[in-house]
Amino acid sequence: MGWTIRSVLSWSKQYLQDKGIESPRLDTEILLARALGIKRIDLYLDMDRPLMDDELGAYRGLLKRRAGKEPIAYILGEKEFYSRVFLVNEHVLIPRPETELLVEQTIERAPKGAHILEMGVGSGAVIVSVLAERDDLTGTGSDINAQAVAVAQENARAHSVSKRVRFFVGDGLAAIGARFPLIVMNPPYISRAEAAELQEDVILHEPHSALFGGNDGLDIIKEILMNVGRHLCSKGVFVMEAGYRQKDAIEELVRSAEGIHTSAWIKDLSGIERVLIVERSDG
């Protein structure tokens, strides 16, 4: 008896479950639908359809990657974020739902017609989403990883904002001489001690340089907060994502920095103070 959609899903679910995958049924459906070039719902409309050898071969390749704890987003090469689909690969962090709050705050606070800066663009999901929502804005994005910048450029083209954004390879604020009315950043903020709490998928496959901020998670944040005031225009705003339990330490850093003050903390849906809003003090 040959393999059908039903039997493949049943076997694959158990296989991934035995490998310690947290959502085995969902993952098998997503991967089989991709291998067959159909939507997930279509699997249920023809569960007894026999699979051809080439279809099984394509699916086995995807399933093997997932069994090795490779994230679904990397296997598919894409991730939905802020109602758009973004190209992702092993060179960029997979966009998280909580980072949509960073996009919302940037959209809300960017002055009309402004040219904004994002540091550490990764896939470009943040700045591309902002520009796609606000056609009056232009932007600049930087990242220390040239391969990440290439991904951001592809996403800018895919979402028709490439004419309004430029990217460059650079380290933080060191290469930037201009001032901006708004700077946004999702820095590496996970501490080394928190590594054990992360899913194996994340530790094994996502870029550590985009995840970890040193022993306390604040290495990059300290550097940025000490210097960001000099790169903000009068009344300029810095919007930054932060980690769980980091508020007090970050508040202390802001107080010790020159030219800036905390304007607000924005909580995510879990009640965590997730996004810091900093303003230039002369504004």
CATH architecture of 92-280: 3-Layer(aba) Sandwich (3.40)
Q: What is the pLDDT of residue 170?
A: 87
- How many CB atoms are located within 10 Å of the residue 272 CB? 18
pLDDT-derived band at 2 (thresholds 50, 70, 90) equals confident
CA distance 230 to 179: 7
Give the ranges where 159-261 is alpha helix by DSSP (H): 200-205, 219-227, 247-256
∠ CA 79-114-86, nearest 5°, is 10
pTM of the model: 0.93
| pLDDT (average), residues 228-234 | 93
Q: What is the pLDDT of residue 29?
A: 98
| pLDDT (average), residues 217-234 | 94
Environment class of residue 280 by beta-carbon count within 10 Å: exposed (0-12), middle (13-18) or buried (19+)? buried
Inform me whether the pLDDT recorded for 172 exceeds 90.
Answer: no
Q: What is the pLDDT of residue 263?
A: 95
**% of the chain residues with pLDDT over 70:** 98
pLDDT-derived band at 174 (thresholds 50, 70, 90) equals low
Q: What is the pLDDT of residue 175?
A: 59
Is the distance from CB of 114 to CB of 100 less than 8 angstroms? no
Sequence ranges of the domains in the chain: 5-68, 92-280
CATH topology of domain 5-68: Helicase, Ruva Protein; domain 3 (1.10.8)
CA distance 53 to 278: 57
Query: How many CA atoms does the CB half-sphere of 65 hold within 13 Å?
Result: 18
pLDDT-derived band at 178 (thresholds 50, 70, 90) equals confident
Q: Which of the pair, 158 or 196, is modelled with greater confidence? A: 158
Is the distance from CB of 81 to CB of 100 less than 8 angstroms? yes
**Considering the chain, what is the average pLDDT of its residues?**
94
- How many CB atoms are located within 10 Å of the residue 255 CB? 11
Which residues 6+ apart lie within 8 Å of 184 measured at CB?
Answer: 102, 106, 116, 117, 118, 119, 126, 127, 130, 238, 239, 240
pLDDT tens digits for range 105-140: 999 999 999 999 999 999 999 999 999 999 999 999
pLDDT-derived band at 238 (thresholds 50, 70, 90) equals very high
